[in-house]
C-alpha cells in the first residue's frame, strides 16, 4: 500500500484528530484518531493514518473509523484500529480488522504477596516460570488435545478447560464474555489449523507475548483499585498471548477464501488487505464462526497458563495458590470482532465491532460486567514494554458513546522488529534490563532484542491520552520485576 499524499488531520481538541471523509473517494465516514501532541508526531511517521482512512471505506461502517493513541501500521487495519459495521445495512466483517493473532489478549492476576516477599526470590521464580510455561516460535507444551477434545475446546473456551481442571470456576466471571463466544463454529476450522493448535494450548508463543511478574507501584484511583483487589506494593502477574498457530491459520485460510468475495458482492476497496464479506453472507458467517472458535482457543490458552502460573507460585513459596491470593482480576481480548448492541442515531443496533489492537472498555453499570465490577466499571489492561510499566485503567461512559466501548491496548511499536535487532547490536538488553531492576528470560537472544523498551512508545503517554480524552481513567501503574519472553 502506498501513501500518495499526506493525510490531513484536523484538530478537534487536545486528544482528538479528525480525518475528513473528503480526504479520499469512497470514505463513508470520517476518521478519528485519539492522541496528544507528542503521540500524534509519531503516528504521522508511518502509514497508519492512511489505513484509518481506508477502513472508512468499508460498507456499512458506522459513525467513524477509529484509532487509539497506540496505533501503528498493520495488515489492512492499523494496529490500534476500531470499526463497527451494521450487518443490516450491508456491513462487512474483515479479517484485517482482527489480525492474524485472533484474540491476542491480556489477563492480570493479583496476589497477596508483596515486593519484599518476591525480591529475594525473583530469579528463582522467573526461572521456574520459564521452565514451566512453554515459550518460543512454534513451541508446543505438555498439555495436548486430541481432535475430538480440541473441537470441544474450540466450542467451550475457558469453560471447557476449567471443567477439565485447569483453573478455578471464579475465573470465568472475570473473563470477557466468560471466556467463550457461544456462536463459535469449530467445524469451520481447517484440519491444518487443528494440527497447529493440538499442542499449543497453554503456551506463550513469541514476539511481543510475555508473562510478567510486576509490583503495583502507584495507585491513582483508590476506589477502583480496591474494587479490583489492587494496592501499592502488591505483586501481580500479567499474561499476554493469543491463539498461537491455530489462530494464525484461521486468518490465513480466511484471507485465501475471501480473496474474490468483494468483487462478487460489488465491493470496491482502496486496499486489497481489507478483503471482507457481508456479515450476513455465507462467507462472512464462515469466517465469523471460525474466528470465534479461535478466540475461544486463545481464552483457553491463557486459562491454562494461569493454572501453570499458580502451580509455579505454589511450588516456589510452598503454599497453595489459594493461600497466596492468586485471583484473576480480569482478562480482555484485543484482536477480535464481536456482535454487540449500541445506540446509534437514536436507535439500538447490533453491530459487528472490530477491535484490532484495541481493548473493550465498558463503564460502570454495563450489564455485561461481572457484578463485583458493575459499580465501578471494567478493568482495562494496558501492557507496556518490559523495562518501564503497564497500566490498569477503568472504562468511562465516553467510550460507550464514542468508540463502541473501546480503548487502547498497549504501548504501540515505534521500531520494527528488524530495526530493534539492529539497534541492539553491541549491547546486552538483558543487562540493561537488570540495571532497571528487571530479570528477563527468553528462548532466543533476539526475543529480548526485538522487544527492547526503545522499540515502544512510553505506555504512560498512551494511558494519559485516553485518560484526558475521557475514554478510560487511570487506576494503577504496574512496574515489571521479572519477565519471560518467547
Catalytic residue numbers read 409
DSSP 16-65: EEEE-TTSSTT--SEEEEE--HHHHHHHTTSSHHHHHHHHTTSTTB-SEE
Which residue in the block uniquely carries the three cell numbers 477439565? 164
Indicate the pairing of strand 439-442 with strand 472-485: parallel
Instruction: Give 11-18 contacts, CB < 8 A, sequence gap 24+.
Output: 14/468, 15/69, 15/465, 15/466, 15/468, 15/469, 16/469
Give the distance between the most distant pair of CA atoms in the chain: 64
* 33 within 8 A of 43, measured Cβ to Cβ: yes
* 330 within 8 A of 54, measured Cβ to Cβ: no
Grid cell at residue 382: 494496558
* Burial track 255-282 (b if 16+ CB lie within 10 A, e otherwise): bebbeebbeeeebebbbebbbbbbbebe
- Name 304's Cβ contacts closer than 8 Å, sequence gap at least 6: 143, 161, 166, 167, 201, 202
Grid cell at residue 374: 458493575
DSSP 272-292: GGG--EETTSHHHHHHHHHHH
Which residue in the block uniquely carries the three cell numbers 470482532? 337
Burial class (CB in 10 A: 0-12, 13-18, 19+), 58: buried
Amino acid at each position: 500500500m502506498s501513501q500518495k499524499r499526506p493525510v490531513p488531520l484536523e484538530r478537534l481538541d487536545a486528544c482528538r484528530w479528525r480525518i475528513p471523509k473528503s480526504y479520499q473517494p469512497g470514505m463513508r465516514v470520517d476518521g478519528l484518531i485519539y492522541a496528544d501532541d507528542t503521540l500524534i508526531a509519531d503516528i504521522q511517521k508511518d502509514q497508519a493514518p492512511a489505513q484509518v482512512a481506508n477502513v472508512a471505506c468499508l460498507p456499512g461502517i458506522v459513525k467513524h473509523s477509529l484509532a487509539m493513541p497506540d496505533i501503528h501500521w498493520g495488515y489492512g487495519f492499523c494496529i490500534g484500529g476500531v470499526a463497527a459495521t451494521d450487518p443490516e445495512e450491508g456491513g462487512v466483517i474483515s479479517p484485517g480488522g482482527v489480525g492474524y493473532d485472533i484474540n491476542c489478549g491480556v489477563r492480570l492476576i493479583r496476589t497477596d504477596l508483596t515486593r519484599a516477599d518476591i525480591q529475594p526470590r525473583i530469579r528463582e521464580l522467573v526461572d521456574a516460570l520459564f521452565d514451566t510455561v512453554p515459550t518460543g516460535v512454534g513451541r508446543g507444551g505438555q498439555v495436548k488435545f486430541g481432535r475430538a477434545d480440541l473441537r470441544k475446546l474450540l466450542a467451550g473456551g475457558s469453560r471447557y478447560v476449567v471443567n477439565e481442571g485447569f483453573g478455578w470456576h471464579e475465573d470465568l466471571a472475570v473473563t470477557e464474555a466468560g471466556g467463550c463466544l457461544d456462536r463459535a463454529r469449530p467445524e469451520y476450522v481447517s484440519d491444518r489449523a487443528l494440527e497447529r493448535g493440538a499442542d499449543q494450548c497453554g503456551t506463550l508463543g513469541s514476539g511481543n507475548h510475555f508473562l510478567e511478574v510486576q509490583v503495583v507501584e502507584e495507585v491513582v484511583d483508590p476506589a477502583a483499585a480496591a474494587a479490583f483487589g489492587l494496592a501499592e506494593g502488591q505483586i501481580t502477574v500479567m499474561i499476554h498471548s493469543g491463539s498461537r498457530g491455530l489462530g494464525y491459520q484461521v486468518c490465513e485460510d480466511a484471507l485465501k477464501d475471501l480473496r474474490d468475495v468483494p468483487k462478487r458482492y460489488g465491493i470496491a476497496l482502496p486496499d486489497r488487505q481489507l478483503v471482507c464479506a457481508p456479515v450476513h453472507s455465507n462467507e462472512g458467517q464462515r469466517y465469523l464462526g471460525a474466528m470465534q472458535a479461535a478466540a475461544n482457543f486463545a481464552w483457553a490458552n491463557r486459562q491454562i497458563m494461569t493454572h501453570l502460573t499458580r502451580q509455579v507460585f505454589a511450588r516456589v513459596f510452598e503454599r497453595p495458590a489459594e493461600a497466596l491470593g492468586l485471583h484473576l482480576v480480569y482478562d480482555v481480548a484485543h484482536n477480535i470482532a464481536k456482535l454487540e448492541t449500541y445506540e446509534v442515531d437514536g436507535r439500538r443496533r447490533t453491530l459487528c465491532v472490530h477491535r484490532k489492537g484495541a481493548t473493550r472498555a465498558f463503564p460502570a453499570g454495563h450489564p455485561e460486567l461481572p457484578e463485583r465490577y458493575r459499580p465501578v466499571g471494567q478493568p482495562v489492561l494496558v501492557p507496556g514494554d518490559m523495562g518501564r510499566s503497564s497500566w490498569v485503567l477503568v472504562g468511562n461512559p465516553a467510550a460507550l458513546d464514542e468508540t463502541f466501548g473501546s480503548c487502547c491496548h498497549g504501548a504501540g511499536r515505534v521500531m520494527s522488529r528488524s530495526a530493534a535487532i539492529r539497534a541492539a547490536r553491541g549491547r546486552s538488553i538483558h543487562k540493561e534490563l537488570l540495571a532497571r531492576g528487571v530479570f528477563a528470560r527468553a528462548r532466543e537472544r533476539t526475543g529480548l532484542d526485538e522487544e527492547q523498551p526503545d522499540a515502544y512508545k512510553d505506555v504512560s503517554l498512551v494511558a494519559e491520552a485516553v485518560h484526558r480524552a475521557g475514554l478510560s481513567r487511570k487506576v494503577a501503574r504496574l512496574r515489571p520485576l521479572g519477565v519471560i519472553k518467547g
